[in-house]
């Protein structure tokens, strides 16, 4: 069989008349394999509105991520199996966002096969895909929709041709349905029977036309997740569930200051003598303990006596980090000179936040002298493979990097911190390891959304907004994963941080826009300070930027005596945004009478080739704010959320609704309850009883998500699209309920409601009183 990776790059063929035709391949072999270049592209994005567009309107981050794939010449393959199923290895990471389900739907649609007959797995690192194996920016479906359809359509065409011969009919007279092809005389052949007959002995080029949208029977219909059964029966496997021979549980003892490093272990022999402990080694990030059980790793980590070198933020607290960052704030650009204009201004601070997922950083590593195998949840497996090979001194092709489904990401798995650490530990111990970060490690030393400020100035003349300026300043957001491979990762890692800043500014410009007619609109970004472990957190800059500018929109509306909804409606420049705004106002009954201390808030967002709007109701009355829940923060309660989302073409409305429900809880957490506190060189938060992500007692009892009818033939991004509008709407509602515009987020940041857990040892002991708390 021809190696699909050695094929030349196929040309994209299009005819001027009729529906577009696409080229792909049938790969030579004994069973049917249809392939297409993943770089096969839909039309480049065009702006919806030609007037005074900001860059993100013309060419956004998704265009960058999609176009990054263009030069690659490598194939993704749909394989037809003799049992009648189709298989596809998706070169992306499933972290809960539902792309294995939506991808199975896309293949099922084009192949005319039931969704449950399509098996989507995650491809291991494929370095030849270069930029094209990065899961980020909610870009998966945007960039893979057309290529995957083409591969499936080619497979279908081959099946029909094979069936025509077998059934003595013509392709045009055959009907394919649910994996069975029927001839006019009633004779049938199943895809399983045809899988080998449709195979081609040699690789050949094939051209196909895709199914018309009007014929869709799967795409656009609500489908349950393909992994739901595994999830509810406990059989869905995450990294720490994998059984790899001799890969014993391993944990790392970390420094009492952020990114501190170990100098010496004073009691290695004592720790090695503890029950179950097999190995203790020092690595650059701490001291690793391998044992028969993770419980014994925790005991070992707690018993270690280590001499530490302080990390770079030693002695620093929130106020120091903020003061350091504010020095990097650029002067605000001058507003237009008009003696009659008045200026409305507001400065906002957004504290550090954690994107810690339920499934902590983890990786299995088996490093041998002549090669290594890694298993982990990885959104940039190619750069992980390259960097780990370099660290181990192995050729890249001797490092196999397997991508495992993850228990959440929220941006965390763009990096491969655990995979690299596990590789170093396995090498140092000379044994396979199953590394798991303790929750305290994940919370304190894991990546975070950086501290930032947003300063907004608007100029009003009469009732018109003449200018709207927003200067966003942030602790550095780490993009050193690049576009998923070493070339751009190295660019991001250039000395003096110029490379990463370039990346940061590019991402900022390509994602941020103010979709209102506000005269001269200017948004800028400055970043500084590399001492913290940061990265893209779900929706990157947008939640903070949007929260600041939607609060300002409310302030402007108030200034000119207009209703927040009416003011937005009048000044929006985009019809899709206006449509979702109208939808939530109508369904959520904007303007209904509310008791004092409660209020509605409304906000919009535009990103990922889509539009969203959110209307919330908040209860900020003292009896609600001060309600008691054991070991918890309560505070204002969002009582109702109405959310409308337009993603262009919604592949799976049910999955999209789920993503918006999740985003709503993220937005509430960002506004009201969750932040990290830097104190004396380290983050205080060490577990879920310190870090207050939205809980059942804070989640809205009423949530309605409206998926707008498809407005496009192309899908937009779904996984992050709901955070920004929700955060902004909650902030606006809180301001209206209390009469005070909050200037720091989350609003409870300055109320420390917990006792900090131990820094030495760095992880807390597991309790022993669990049987006293049964219910």
Partner 1 sequence: MPEQTFILNGESVTVEVEDDVRLLWVLRDLLGVTGPKYGCGINVCKACTSHINGRAFNPCSVPVGAVKETDEVTTIEGLPATAAEDQRGEHGLHPMQEAWLERDVAQCGYCQPGQIMAAVAVVNRARREDRAVTDADLDGIRNICRCGTYTRIREAIRAGEQQM
- Please report, as residue ranges, which positions from 743 to 772 form the binding site for partner 1 (by CB under 8 A): 763-764, 766-771
In the complex, the smallest distance separating the C-beta of residue 681 from partner 1, rounded to whole angstroms, is: 23
Choosing from 276, 371, 502, 597, the residue that interacts with partner 1 (CB under 8 A) is: 276
> Does residue 629 belong to the site contacting partner 1 (CB under 8 A)?
yes
How far apart CA 275 and CA 350 sit, in angstroms, is 45
Determine contact, residues 57/51, Cβ cutoff 8 Å.
no
- Listed residue (372, 488, 505) closest to 132, CA to CA: 488
Determine contact, residues 546/728, Cβ cutoff 8 Å.
yes
Residue 680 makes CB contacts below 8 A (sequence gap 6+) with 257, 314, 315, 316, 317
β-pair type (610-619, 75-80): unpaired
Q: Which is nearer to partner 1, 385 or 652 (CB)?
A: 652
Choosing from 278, 296, 373, 474, the residue that interacts with partner 1 (CB under 8 A) is: 296
Residue 516's DSSP bridge partners are 572
> Does residue 697 belong to the site contacting partner 1 (CB under 8 A)?
yes
- How many whole angstroms from its chain centre is CA 60? 16
The pair of three-digit structure tokens given for residue 466, joined into one six-digit string = 């003449």
Residue 207 makes CB contacts below 8 A (sequence gap 6+) with 13, 21, 22, 23, 24
- Select the span of 12-20, 220-228, 345-353, 612-620 touching partner 1 (CB under 8 A): 220-228
Contact flags string 487-526 toward partner 1, x per CB under 8 A: ----------------------------------------
Residue with the two structure tokens 């966002």: 97
In the complex, the smallest distance separating the C-beta of residue 301 from partner 1, rounded to whole angstroms, is: 11
> Does residue 243 belong to the site contacting partner 1 (CB under 8 A)?
yes
Contact flags string 298-337 toward partner 1, x per CB under 8 A: x---------------------------------------
- Select the span of 77-85, 403-411, 563-571, 578-586 touching partner 1 (CB under 8 A): 403-411
* Binders of partner 1 in range 348-367 (CB under 8 A): 356-360
How far apart CA 594 and CA 371 sit, in angstroms, is 66
In the complex, the smallest distance separating the C-beta of residue 412 from partner 1, rounded to whole angstroms, is: 10
Q: Which is nearer to partner 1, 298 or 501 (CB)?
A: 298
Burial of 660 (0-12, 13-18, 19+ CB in 10 A): buried
In the complex, the smallest distance separating the C-beta of residue 369 from partner 1, rounded to whole angstroms, is: 28
> Does residue 593 belong to the site contacting partner 1 (CB under 8 A)?
no
How far apart CA 149 and CA 141 sit, in angstroms, is 11
Choosing from 82, 391, 689, 714, the residue that interacts with partner 1 (CB under 8 A) is: 689
In the complex, the smallest distance separating the C-beta of residue 646 from partner 1, rounded to whole angstroms, is: 20
In the complex, the smallest distance separating the C-beta of residue 435 from partner 1, rounded to whole angstroms, is: 13
- Select the span of 50-58, 134-142, 241-249, 465-473 touching partner 1 (CB under 8 A): 241-249
In the complex, the smallest distance separating the C-beta of residue 659 from partner 1, rounded to whole angstroms, is: 8
- How many residues of this chain bind partner 1 (CB under 8 A)? 77
Q: How far is CA 24 from CA 7, 147, 149, 559, 774, in A?
A: 11, 9, 11, 58, 59
> Does residue 275 belong to the site contacting partner 1 (CB under 8 A)?
yes
* Binders of partner 1 in range 107-136 (CB under 8 A): none
The pair of three-digit structure tokens given for residue 310, joined into one six-digit string = 């302080």
In the complex, the smallest distance separating the C-beta of residue 265 from partner 1, rounded to whole angstroms, is: 23
Residue 260 makes CB contacts below 8 A (sequence gap 6+) with 254, 308, 309, 310, 311, 314
Rg of the chain, C-alpha, whole Å: 27
> Does residue 224 belong to the site contacting partner 1 (CB under 8 A)?
yes
Q: Which is nearer to partner 1, 158 or 356 (CB)?
A: 356
* Binders of partner 1 in range 648-687 (CB under 8 A): 654, 658-659, 661-666, 687
Query: DSSP strand E in 299-417: where?
Result: 306-309, 342-350, 353-354, 362-368, 371-376, 399-403
* Binders of partner 1 in range 437-496 (CB under 8 A): 438-439
In the complex, the smallest distance separating the C-beta of residue 160 from partner 1, rounded to whole angstroms, is: 33
């Amino acid at each position: 069989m021809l190696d699909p990776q050695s094929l030349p790059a196929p040309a994209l063929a299009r005819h001027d008349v009729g529906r577009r035709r696409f080229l792909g391949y049938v790969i030579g072999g004994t069973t049917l394999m249809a392939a297409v270049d993943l770089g096969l592209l839909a039309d480049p994005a065009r702006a919806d509105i030609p007037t005074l567009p900001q860059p993100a309107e013309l060419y956004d981050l998704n265009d960058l991520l999609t176009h990054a794939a263009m030069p690659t010449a490598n194939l993704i393959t749909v394989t037809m199996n003799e049992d009648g199923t189709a298989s596809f290895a998706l070169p992306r990471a499933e972290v809960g966002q539902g792309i294995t389900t939506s991808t199975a739907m896309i293949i099922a649609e084009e192949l005319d096969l039931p969704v449950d007959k399509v098996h989507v797995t995650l491809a291991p690192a494929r370095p030849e895909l270069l930029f094209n194996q990065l899961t980020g920016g909610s870009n998966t479906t945007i960039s893979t929709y057309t290529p995957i359809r083409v591969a499936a359509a080619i497979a279908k065409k081959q099946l029909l041709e094979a069936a025509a011969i077998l059934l003595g009919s013509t392709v045009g007279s055959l009907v394919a349905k649910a994996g069975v092809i029927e001839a006019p005389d009633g004779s049938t052949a199943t895809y399983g029977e045809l899988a080998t007959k449709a195979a081609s002995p040699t690789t050949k080029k094939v051209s196909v036309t895709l199914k018309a949208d009007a014929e869709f029977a799967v795409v656009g219909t609500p489908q349950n997740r393909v992994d739901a059964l595994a999830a509810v029966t406990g059989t869905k496997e995450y990294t720490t569930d994998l059984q790899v021979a001799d890969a014993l549980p391993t944990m790392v003892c970390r420094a009492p200051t952020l990114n501190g490093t170990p100098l010496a272990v004073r009691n290695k022999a004592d720790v090695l003598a503890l029950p179950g402990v097999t190995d203790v080694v020092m690595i650059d990030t701490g001291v690793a303990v391998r044992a028969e059980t993770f419980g014994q790793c925790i005991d070992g980590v707690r018993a270690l006596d280590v001499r530490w070198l302080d990390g770079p933020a030693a002695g620093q607290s929130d106020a120091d980090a903020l003061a350091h960052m504010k020095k990097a704030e650029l002067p605000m650009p001058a507003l237009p000179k008009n003696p009659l204009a008045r200026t409305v201004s507001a400065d906002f601070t957004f504290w550090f936040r954690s994107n810690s997922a339920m499934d902590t950083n983890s990786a299995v590593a088996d490093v041998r002298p002549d090669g290594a195998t890694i298993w982990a949840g990885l959104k940039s497996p190619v750069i992980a493979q390259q960097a780990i090979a370099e660290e181990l001194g192995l050729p890249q092709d001797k490092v196999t990097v397997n991508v495992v489904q993850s228990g959440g990401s929220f941006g965390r798995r763009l990096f491969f911190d655990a995979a690299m650490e596990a590789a170093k530990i396995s090498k140092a111990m000379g044994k396979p390891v199953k590394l798991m970060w303790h929750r305290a490690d994940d919370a304190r030393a894991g990546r975070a959304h950086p501290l930032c400020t947003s300063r907004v100035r608007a100029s009003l003349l009469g009732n018109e907004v003449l200018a709207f300026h927003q200067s966003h300043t942030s602790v550095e957001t780490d993009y050193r994963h690049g576009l998923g491979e070493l070339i751009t990762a190295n660019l991001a890692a250039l000395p003096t941080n110029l490379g990463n800043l370039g990346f940061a500014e590019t991402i900022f410009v390509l994602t941020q826009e103010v979709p209102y007619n506000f005269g001269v609109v200017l948004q800028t970004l400055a970043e500084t300070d590399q001492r913290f472990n940061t990265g893209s957190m779900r929706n990157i800059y947008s939640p903070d930027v949007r929260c600041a500018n939607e609060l300002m929109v409310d302030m402007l509306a108030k200034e000119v005596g207009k209703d927040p909804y009416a003011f937005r409606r009048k000044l929006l420049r985009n019809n899709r945004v206006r449509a979702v705004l109208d939808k939530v106002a109508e369904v959520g009954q904007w303007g209904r009478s509310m008791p004092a201390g409660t209020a509605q808030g409304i906000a919009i967002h535009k990103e990922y080739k889509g539009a969203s709007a959110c209307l919330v109701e908040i209860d900020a009355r003292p009896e609600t704010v001060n309600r008691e829940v054991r070991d918890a923060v309560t505070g204002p309660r969002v009582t109702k959320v109405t959310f409308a989302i337009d993603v262009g073409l919604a592949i799976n409305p049910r999955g999209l609704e789920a993503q918006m429900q999740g985003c709503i809880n993220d937005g509430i957490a960002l506004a009201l309850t969750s932040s990290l506190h830097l104190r004396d060189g380290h983050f205080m938060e060490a577990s879920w009883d310190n870090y207050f992500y939205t809980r059942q007692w804070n989640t809205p009892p009423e949530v309605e998500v409206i998926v707008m009818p498809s407005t496009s033939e192309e899908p937009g991004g779904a996984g992050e699209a709901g955070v920004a509008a929700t955060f902004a709407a909650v902030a606006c509602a809180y301001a209206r309920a209390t009469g005070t515009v909050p200037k720091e987020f989350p609003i409870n940041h300055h109320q420390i409601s917990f006792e900090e857990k131990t820094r030495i040892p760095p992880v807390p002991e597991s309790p022993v009183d669990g049987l006293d708390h049964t219910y």
